[in-house]
Amino acid sequence: MPREVTRNLLAGDATMAEENQGPITNADLAIVCRQFATLTKADINILEILETLRAQTTNALLREVLDQVQQDVEMGHTLATSFSRYPNTFSPFFITMIREGELEGDMDRVFDDLADHFETQLGGTPDARRPARAGLFDWEAAASAFQWIFIWLCALGAACAIGAGLIWYATAGPTDRIGLPGDRIPNILIFIGIILGLGVLLFTRGRRRL
């Protein structure tokens, strides 16, 4: 079945428009992201997807970028790292979303969201003459980056709090008043760590369901 999906997409090359020598547009990125999501849902591996998209795109510059990305992935780089080599084409928001998808194993949802994002920028109507504006400040990218930085800080805080509480108990001598099971400070530290850890877990699981 996955091979059939790939062949069907490649079969569309003959009916596509002439090669475009212009800049990479939001419309180009919307189409690539939507197709990437479709192929990912069909359980096709990333290298085959990149090969399919490279062969299918009519934008010469985008084809060259996808070719380089494919080579980087073949060398063992992550998809996010490979795309990040082209900051004039792929915004920080795009890279952050791809990295999130790789970490969560949810690439189809991420690429669907990115396709929606680019289509929204076009007002829902693909316009091949409108170039992608990766260089402008992206509030969505900033919000997404801040969100994940905050989550990682919470996870780090949870680990530190639990670790400090356990060390408190472990290093207390048998005659010390501190470090007893009923002592409030280590108990509070461990409690805070558990709450932060549960918050991080619930947030990440919730993101997977979106």
Contacts of 16 (CB under 8 A, 6+ apart): 56, 58
Q: Give backbone dihedrals phi and psi of 59, rounded to 5 degrees, phi first.
A: -90, 120
Here the tokens at position 63 are 């084809």
pLDDT at 182: 57
Q: Which pairs count as long-range contacts for 140-149, CB under 8 Å and 24+ apart, including other chains?
A: 140/93, 141/91, 141/92, 141/93, 141/94, 141/96, 144/93, 144/96, 144/97, 144/100, 145/92, 145/96, 148/96, 148/100
Instruction: Give, in order, the Cα–Cα distances in Å from 113 to each of 14, 30, 65, 81, 183.
Output: 28, 10, 21, 19, 49
Confidence (pLDDT) at 195: 85
Q: What is the C-alpha to C-alpha distance for residues 41 and 115, in angstroms, rounded to an integer?
A: 15
The pLDDT, as a whole number, for residue 73 is: 92
pLDDT value at position 183?
A: 66
Separation of alpha carbons 199 and 192, rounded Å: 11
Rounded Cα distance between 30 and 10, Å, is 18
What confidence score (pLDDT) does residue 74 get?
Answer: 92
Alpha carbons 46 and 25: distance in angstroms, whole number: 22
Amino acid identity at 169: Y
Backbone angles phi, psi at 42, to 5 degrees: -85, 10
Residue where the block lists tokens 């970028």 = 65
What CATH number belongs to 2-136? 1.20.81.30
Cα–Cα distance measured from residue 51 to residue 133, given in angstroms and rounded to the nearest whole number: 25
Per-residue pLDDT of the chain (210 residues), as tens digits, is 444 444 444 444 433 444 566 788 888 899 999 999 999 998 888 899 999 998 888 888 999 999 999 999 999 999 999 998 988 888 888 888 898 888 888 888 899 989 988 888 776 444 444 445 444 445 555 566 666 677 778 888 888 888 887 887 777 655 454 444 556 777 788 888 888 888 777 766 655 444
| Residue 17 DSSP code | P
pTM, rounded to two decimals: 0.55
